[in-house]
A and B are shown apart, each in its own frame.
Chain A
Amino acid sequence: MSRIVIEATNISKQYTLGATGTGSFRQDIKRWLGKKTGRPNDPFFYGSNSAADTLLALQNISFQVQQGDCWGIVGANGAGKSTLLKIISRIIQPTTGTVKGRGTIGSLLEIGTGFHPELSGRENIFISGYLLGMKKAEIKQQFDEIVAFSGLEKFIDTPVKRYSSGMYVRLAFSVAAHLQADILIMDEVLAVGDIEFQKKCLDKMQQVVNDHLRTILFVSHNMQAVTHLCRQAIWLQQGKLVAMGDTSQVVDQYVGSLQQNRLRLQWQHEAEAPGNEYVRILSMELVPELHSPESVIDVRTPLHVKFTIRNLSENILLNAGLHLFNYAGECIFDVASKPVWCRAGIVEGVCDIPGHFLNDGAYYLSLIIVRDTSIPLYYFEAGIHFEVADYREDTTWFGKWKGVVRPQFPFRFEPYPALRDTQSIDH
């Protein structure tokens, strides 16, 4: 199958910041006058609303998608991923450029689009289905299947406002999962629902992918899911297409770009170094044990935190502490070195964080220098920033791995020996 079903040519989307949102009648009159007098860019007519107030959400994006392909679209928040999906879904118009396509489109940009809290599950299945572009016969025929998929047979005539948020999501996704459009457009729909249900959804998507008949465009921050489901990927950054092609390559490039974190700090002149009259931080560095220079820190990577400080006091009892935080501000750990007696001069420290310990996510490290094991001398906050990428083997589960840490403890799991050798237990 290599029939092209979506062809995007040079699409750009420009937003005017402020002006349209405030709905100023005067601005519009001025702009209109500007157009009429043939000076559309005259600052008098445009006032403050000049090029500086416009945002290019997408710039000259071109690509082709073939039937049966599953494309992942990755990029940071605000990279224009959703804008791109909205343009392809015909929700908004591009400022320039064209998207042409073959076949019907079903777009799932939000879970539960068009759901009304006062209406029953049954009624909402119909409204949501119609909104997504399903035909009456399609819904009627699949109705029982949709309800069964959601597992809400008992509550189908209850107003959805009485549903728990999990039930709501399940019903909403069940409708979406039965959408028969030729091209499916999905935005981060997996970010919701309980684990069991997420698994169900991914399986459903995998089915669609395996059919090779329907085309999927899939935006997600879940790199595992993208790598697993999609063969092609697009990486957008600030509205520009940075990379396009084979998923694993694009995702690697993208994840690599996220890790231009601050792994190393060093001060040439001690006077500029952070510190006070007791201690100065001379350097701090995170050294990952990577397999190759191109690879990124992932959950398997052992890390070494190295730092040097200058101690400015004679003969004091010093020890250092390292605090690791995630970006939610939670302290993951607080490790302290053994106290040592130090003379004035340079003091070095190394702390080893083993691989298979941290969960995936973004972290920062703070360093504290303590005197007499109880008096803080200096607290150097958020010196090192780094990210740990996800890595999984032997699993088909791609949702967010739970837990603050992801250690691999010795774990024995096997059939009980007594039973293993018994051919028959009971007949």
Chain B
Amino acid sequence: MSTPSRERSLPIYPPDNEPWDWEVTNRTSWRTWSFKALWAYRHLLFRFVKRDFLVNYQQTLLGPLWVVLQPVLTLVVYVLVFGKWMGIKTGDAPPVLFFLCGILLWGLFSDLFTGTAFLFTYYGSLYNKVYFPRLVIPFSVAGTQLLRFFIQLVLLVFVLGYYSWYRSFAFTPGLWLLSLPVVILLTALFALALGLIFCILTARYRDLSNIVHLGIRLFMFVTPVIYPLSVVPASVRWLANINPLSPLFEVFRYALIGQGLFTTGQLIYSTLFITMLFLLALVWFNKQAARLIDVA
């Protein structure tokens, strides 16, 4: 395979056995795998997070206040509808605290999932124009949502403070508080794993995008978000138990407001399930992403 220019020019040096830096074939190469490559693009990731955060609130009157206003408004509706009118038993804790815990953690899960489940539709044109590790975008969405969540956690701390100072709610800090980072991380990982899987499915089968929104809404009702697991009748308890999110929500509330129902076995199941699913999703995403660019 010699080109005219090569014939003209000097003998090849360094010798042909100099290793190649990269290779493109129809197989997914180790390169798309390498976390080193992802790390090299960490600044892009941070910029994406910053961008999403800025763009969302630019030219809005209240700006970043919306990050906390959104859950507050949801809270008002939930307390009224589910708490007052439907009378869902939320246990001993004040309903406001109970619902807020659920709303925040569920918000993280559902926003992170819907933010990643349509990646190829939103970012197809970008993916199609420039190469960068494909995982940068889903990870940056996760970053944005986690950032939002941590801001909302501050709100939760204030509400907790208010209820312990001015109301008869006794906040008892326990060792379980230390489990919060793990619970939050697992929730985010589960959403991200599902998002990675669904972004491939929605790119392939456009019909699915309609179902995804409905599905996530229905999924909320089989997760103890607006009700404690303890009110679920024993006959259908298994349904909630196979949901790896259930124990996470229960632990989250147990650590913060001392109310939750879970077993160690459930936690182990949840952790294993989510970790496995996340790894699987990574493998699949890496394998499919390069091919999907042609479709998206």
Contacts and interface: CB of A to CB of B under 8 A. Distances in A.
Interface of A: 2-4, 7, 9, 15, 20-21, 23-25, 28, 62-64, 66, 69, 86-105, 107, 109-110, 113-114, 116, 118-119, 123, 126-127, 130-133, 136, 159, 231-232, 244-246
Contacts of B128: 86, 91
Contacts of A245: 3-5
Q: Tell me the interface secondary structure of chain B in the complex.
A: loop
Contact of B1 (A62, A93, A105, A110): A62
B23 A100 contact: yes
B4 A90 contact: no
Nearest to A182: B21
A109 B129 contact: yes
Interface stretch (B51-59, B69-77, B97-105, B189-197): B51-59
A200 B236 CA distance: 71
A24 B208 CA distance: 11
Interface of B: 1-6, 9-14, 16, 18, 20-27, 41, 43-44, 47-48, 50-51, 54-55, 58-59, 126-132, 203-207, 290-291, 293-295
A63 B3 CA distance: 7
23 contacts: A2-B10, A4-B12, A20-B294, A23-B206, A63-B3, A86-B128, A88-B24, A91-B129, A91-B130, A92-B293, A98-B25, A99-B25, A100-B20, A101-B21, A102-B22, A116-B51, A119-B55, A123-B47, A123-B51, A130-B47, A131-B130, A231-B5, A232-B5
Most buried by A among B9, B131, B207: B131
Contacts of B48: 127
B9 A66 contact: yes
Contacts of B127: 91
B129 A93 contact: no
Contacts of B24: 87-88, 90, 93-94, 98-100
Contacts of B25: 93-94, 97-99
Nearest to B45: A130
Contacts of B6: 2, 64, 66
Nearest to B128: A91
Given A66-B6, A97-B25, A99-B24, A91 B293 contact: yes
A278 to B, nearest CB: 56
Nearest to A131: B130
Nearest to B1: A62
B51 A23 contact: no
Contacts of A94: 24-26
B26 A95 contact: yes
Contacts of B203: 23
Contacts of B50: 123
Contacts of A28: 204
